[in-house]
Protein backbone atom coordinates (compact mmCIF):
# COMPACT_ATOMS: atom_id res chain seq x y z
CA UNK A 1 0.00 0.00 0.00
CA UNK A 2 1.42 3.37 -0.99
CA UNK A 3 2.30 6.08 1.47
CA UNK A 4 -0.31 8.36 -0.09
CA UNK A 5 -3.05 5.79 0.45
CA UNK A 6 -2.00 5.35 4.07
CA UNK A 7 -2.21 9.09 4.63
CA UNK A 8 -5.68 9.25 3.14
CA UNK A 9 -6.82 6.33 5.30
CA UNK A 10 -5.45 8.00 8.44
CA UNK A 11 -7.19 11.25 7.53
CA UNK A 12 -10.46 9.44 6.90
CA UNK A 13 -10.19 7.61 10.21
CA UNK A 14 -9.52 10.86 12.06
CA UNK A 15 -12.55 12.44 10.42
CA UNK A 16 -14.74 9.50 11.36
CA UNK A 17 -13.54 9.63 14.97
CA UNK A 18 -14.09 13.40 15.12
CA UNK A 19 -17.61 13.05 13.78
CA UNK A 20 -18.30 10.26 16.23
CA UNK A 21 -16.98 12.42 19.05
CA UNK A 22 -19.17 15.34 18.00
CA UNK A 23 -22.16 13.05 17.74
CA UNK A 24 -21.47 11.67 21.21
CA UNK A 25 -21.03 15.16 22.65
CA UNK A 26 -24.25 16.31 21.03
CA UNK A 27 -26.14 13.38 22.50
CA UNK A 28 -24.69 14.07 25.95
CA UNK A 29 -25.65 17.75 25.72
CA UNK A 30 -29.18 16.83 24.67
CA UNK A 31 -29.45 14.49 27.65
CA UNK A 32 -28.15 17.17 30.03
CA UNK A 33 -30.62 19.80 28.81
CA UNK A 34 -33.48 17.30 28.96
CA UNK A 35 -32.67 16.48 32.61
CA UNK A 36 -31.96 20.16 33.36
CA UNK A 37 -30.30 19.46 36.71
CA UNK A 38 -27.02 20.61 38.20
CA UNK A 39 -25.86 17.01 38.33
CA UNK A 40 -26.55 16.42 34.63
CA UNK A 41 -24.72 19.58 33.56
CA UNK A 42 -21.80 18.77 35.87
CA UNK A 43 -21.53 15.31 34.35
CA UNK A 44 -21.50 16.86 30.88
CA UNK A 45 -18.68 19.20 31.91
CA UNK A 46 -16.69 16.31 33.31
CA UNK A 47 -17.00 14.44 30.02
CA UNK A 48 -16.61 17.46 27.73
CA UNK A 49 -14.72 20.25 29.56
CA UNK A 50 -13.74 21.98 26.31
CA UNK A 51 -17.15 21.79 24.67
CA UNK A 52 -18.67 24.83 23.03
CA UNK A 53 -21.58 24.29 25.41
CA UNK A 54 -19.39 24.37 28.53
CA UNK A 55 -20.07 28.04 29.28
CA UNK A 56 -23.81 27.52 28.93
CA UNK A 57 -23.63 24.48 31.19
CA UNK A 58 -21.81 26.43 33.92
CA UNK A 59 -24.28 29.31 33.62
CA UNK A 60 -27.23 26.96 34.00
CA UNK A 61 -25.66 25.34 37.07
CA UNK A 62 -25.44 28.79 38.70
CA UNK A 63 -29.05 29.58 37.76
CA UNK A 64 -30.32 26.33 39.23
CA UNK A 65 -28.40 26.96 42.46
CA UNK A 66 -29.86 30.46 42.66
CA UNK A 67 -33.38 29.08 42.15
CA UNK A 68 -32.87 26.54 44.94
CA UNK A 69 -31.54 29.21 47.29
CA UNK A 70 -34.51 31.47 46.56
CA UNK A 71 -36.96 28.63 47.22
CA UNK A 72 -35.17 27.96 50.51
CA UNK A 73 -35.38 31.64 51.48
CA UNK A 74 -39.09 31.95 50.66
CA UNK A 75 -39.87 28.68 52.45
CA UNK A 76 -38.18 29.99 55.61
CA UNK A 77 -39.66 33.47 55.04
CA UNK A 78 -37.45 35.17 57.60
CA UNK A 79 -35.33 38.30 57.49
CA UNK A 80 -32.16 36.26 58.06
CA UNK A 81 -33.02 33.93 55.17
CA UNK A 82 -33.47 36.82 52.73
CA UNK A 83 -30.28 38.53 53.93
CA UNK A 84 -28.35 35.29 53.43
CA UNK A 85 -29.79 35.00 49.91
CA UNK A 86 -28.61 38.53 49.09
CA UNK A 87 -25.15 37.74 50.41
CA UNK A 88 -24.89 34.84 47.99
CA UNK A 89 -26.78 36.37 45.03
CA UNK A 90 -26.54 40.15 45.20
CA UNK A 91 -27.31 40.54 41.49
CA UNK A 92 -30.07 37.95 41.30
CA UNK A 93 -33.34 38.66 39.53
CA UNK A 94 -34.93 38.10 42.97
CA UNK A 95 -32.57 40.47 44.78
CA UNK A 96 -34.98 43.41 44.71
CA UNK A 97 -37.83 41.27 46.02
CA UNK A 98 -35.55 40.06 48.82
CA UNK A 99 -34.72 43.67 49.77
CA UNK A 100 -38.42 44.56 49.83
CA UNK A 101 -39.21 41.67 52.14
CA UNK A 102 -36.31 42.61 54.42
CA UNK A 103 -37.65 46.17 54.53
CA UNK A 104 -41.10 44.92 55.49
CA UNK A 105 -39.65 42.71 58.22
CA UNK A 106 -37.85 45.78 59.55
CA UNK A 107 -41.16 47.65 59.56
CA UNK A 108 -42.89 44.89 61.47
CA UNK A 109 -40.11 44.79 64.06
CA UNK A 110 -40.25 48.57 64.47
CA UNK A 111 -44.01 48.44 64.91
CA UNK A 112 -43.70 45.67 67.49
CA UNK A 113 -41.15 47.72 69.42
CA UNK A 114 -43.39 50.77 69.31
CA UNK A 115 -46.38 48.77 70.54
CA UNK A 116 -44.30 47.25 73.35
CA UNK A 117 -43.14 50.70 74.42
CA UNK A 118 -46.70 52.00 74.36
CA UNK A 119 -47.87 49.04 76.44
CA UNK A 120 -45.10 49.57 78.98
CA UNK A 121 -46.01 53.22 79.26
CA UNK A 122 -49.69 52.42 79.75
CA UNK A 123 -48.90 49.87 82.47
CA UNK A 124 -47.43 52.46 84.82
CA UNK A 125 -49.95 55.34 84.98
CA UNK A 126 -49.48 55.76 88.70
CA UNK A 127 -45.75 56.28 88.35
CA UNK A 128 -46.27 58.80 85.58
CA UNK A 129 -48.89 60.66 87.60
CA UNK A 130 -46.65 60.77 90.68
CA UNK A 131 -43.77 62.10 88.63
CA UNK A 132 -45.97 64.76 87.06
CA UNK A 133 -47.31 65.78 90.48
CA UNK A 134 -43.77 66.13 91.87
CA UNK A 135 -42.68 68.38 89.01
CA UNK A 136 -42.99 72.13 89.62
CA UNK A 137 -45.64 73.76 87.42
CA UNK A 138 -43.12 76.04 85.70
CA UNK A 139 -40.88 73.12 84.77
CA UNK A 140 -43.83 71.01 83.64
CA UNK A 141 -45.14 73.78 81.42
CA UNK A 142 -41.73 74.51 79.97
CA UNK A 143 -41.07 70.82 79.32
CA UNK A 144 -44.41 70.37 77.60
CA UNK A 145 -43.85 73.40 75.42
CA UNK A 146 -40.41 72.17 74.43
CA UNK A 147 -41.66 68.68 73.61
CA UNK A 148 -44.60 70.10 71.69
CA UNK A 149 -42.23 72.26 69.62
CA UNK A 150 -40.08 69.24 68.82
CA UNK A 151 -43.17 67.24 67.90
CA UNK A 152 -44.42 69.95 65.58
CA UNK A 153 -41.01 70.38 63.97
CA UNK A 154 -41.37 67.24 61.89
CA UNK A 155 -44.46 66.00 60.09
CA UNK A 156 -45.87 62.66 61.16
CA UNK A 157 -46.43 59.75 58.79
CA UNK A 158 -47.08 56.05 58.92
CA UNK A 159 -45.34 53.72 56.50
CA UNK A 160 -47.48 50.97 55.02
CA UNK A 161 -44.96 49.11 52.90
CA UNK A 162 -41.95 49.19 50.59
CA UNK A 163 -42.12 48.29 46.92
CA UNK A 164 -39.93 47.88 43.86
CA UNK A 165 -41.70 50.66 41.93
CA UNK A 166 -44.12 53.54 42.35
CA UNK A 167 -46.68 51.68 40.25
CA UNK A 168 -46.68 48.78 42.72
CA UNK A 169 -46.93 51.17 45.66
CA UNK A 170 -49.91 52.93 44.04
CA UNK A 171 -51.62 49.62 43.33
CA UNK A 172 -51.16 48.54 46.95
CA UNK A 173 -52.56 51.87 48.16
CA UNK A 174 -55.77 51.22 46.21
CA UNK A 175 -56.01 47.77 47.74
CA UNK A 176 -55.51 49.13 51.27
CA UNK A 177 -58.02 51.93 50.77
CA UNK A 178 -60.65 49.42 49.70
CA UNK A 179 -59.77 47.06 52.54
CA UNK A 180 -59.65 49.69 55.31
CA UNK A 181 -61.95 52.53 54.14
CA UNK A 182 -62.73 53.77 57.64
CA UNK A 183 -59.06 54.14 58.59
CA UNK A 184 -57.54 55.29 55.28
CA UNK A 185 -60.17 56.92 53.06
CA UNK A 186 -59.46 60.44 54.34
CA UNK A 187 -55.66 60.13 54.13
CA UNK A 188 -53.37 61.10 51.28
CA UNK A 189 -50.47 58.84 50.25
CA UNK A 190 -46.94 59.85 49.39
CA UNK A 191 -44.34 57.71 47.65
CA UNK A 192 -40.89 58.20 49.13
CA UNK A 193 -38.14 57.34 46.69
CA UNK A 194 -40.35 57.57 43.61
CA UNK A 195 -38.68 58.97 40.52
CA UNK A 196 -35.20 57.82 41.54
CA UNK A 197 -33.52 55.49 39.09
CA UNK A 198 -31.07 53.62 41.32
CA UNK A 199 -31.51 49.86 40.76
CA UNK A 200 -31.79 49.05 44.47
CA UNK A 201 -34.09 51.97 45.33
CA UNK A 202 -37.25 51.04 47.22
CA UNK A 203 -40.42 53.11 47.01
CA UNK A 204 -42.00 53.51 50.44
CA UNK A 205 -45.75 54.01 50.77
CA UNK A 206 -46.58 56.48 53.54
CA UNK A 207 -49.61 58.53 54.62
CA UNK A 208 -49.59 61.72 56.65
CA UNK A 209 -51.37 62.04 59.99
CA UNK A 210 -51.91 64.96 62.35
CA UNK A 211 -49.83 63.77 65.31
CA UNK A 212 -47.68 61.06 66.81
CA UNK A 213 -50.69 59.86 68.77
CA UNK A 214 -52.71 59.60 65.56
CA UNK A 215 -49.90 57.60 63.95
CA UNK A 216 -49.75 55.16 66.87
CA UNK A 217 -53.54 54.84 66.91
CA UNK A 218 -53.73 54.12 63.19
CA UNK A 219 -51.00 51.53 63.37
CA UNK A 220 -52.64 49.88 66.34
CA UNK A 221 -55.84 49.42 64.33
CA UNK A 222 -54.08 48.15 61.21
CA UNK A 223 -51.81 45.77 63.12
CA UNK A 224 -54.90 43.99 64.43
CA UNK A 225 -55.45 42.92 60.81
CA UNK A 226 -51.77 41.94 60.36
CA UNK A 227 -51.17 44.98 58.17
CA UNK A 228 -47.64 46.38 58.32
CA UNK A 229 -47.64 49.91 59.75
CA UNK A 230 -44.79 51.93 61.26
CA UNK A 231 -44.90 55.55 62.55
CA UNK A 232 -42.19 57.66 60.90
CA UNK A 233 -41.26 61.33 60.65
CA UNK A 234 -40.38 63.22 57.55
CA UNK A 235 -36.70 63.79 57.20
| 189: CATH | 3.30.70.1070
Residue 106, Cβ density class (10 Å: 0-12 exposed, 13-18 middle, ≥19 buried): middle
Range(s) of the domain holding residue 104: 95-122+144-233
SS3 205: strand
**102 & 199 share domain:** yes
Q: Give Cβ neighbours of residue 78 (< 8 Å, ≥ 6 apart).
A: 105
Helix axis angle for 95-122 and 79-88, nearest 10°, is 150
Question: Which run of H or E residues covers position 158?
Answer: strand 156-163
**114 & 224 share domain:** yes
On whether residue 11 sits in a domain, the answer given is yes
**162 & 112 share domain:** yes
**112 & 20 share domain:** no
Integer Cα distance of 191 and 160 in angstroms: 10
SS3 51: coil
Domain count, the chain: 2
Tens-of-pLDDT digits for all 235 residues of the chain? 566 655 666 666 566 555 555 668 888 999 999 999 999 999 999 999 998 999 999 999 999 999 999 999 989 888 899 889 988 988 888 888 888 888 877 776 665 565 566 556 655 555 555 565 555 544 444 444 444 443 444 578 999 888 888 888 899 999 999 999 999 989 999 998 866 655 567 888 999 999 989 989 998 898 888 787 888 876 5
**34 & 103 share domain:** no
Q: Among the residues of the chain, which ranges form H helices?
A: 3-35, 38-47, 54-76, 79-88, 95-122, 125-134, 137-153, 166-179, 181-184, 212-223
β-pairing, 203-209 vs 230-233, is unpaired
Diameter over CA atoms, the chain? 123
Amino acid sequence: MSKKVLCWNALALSLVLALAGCSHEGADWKSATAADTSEAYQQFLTQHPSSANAVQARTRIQQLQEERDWQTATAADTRDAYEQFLTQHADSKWAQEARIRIENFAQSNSAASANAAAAAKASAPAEAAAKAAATPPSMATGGYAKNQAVSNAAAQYVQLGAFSSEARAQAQWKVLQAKYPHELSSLTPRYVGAGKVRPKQLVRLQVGVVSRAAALGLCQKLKKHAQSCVPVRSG
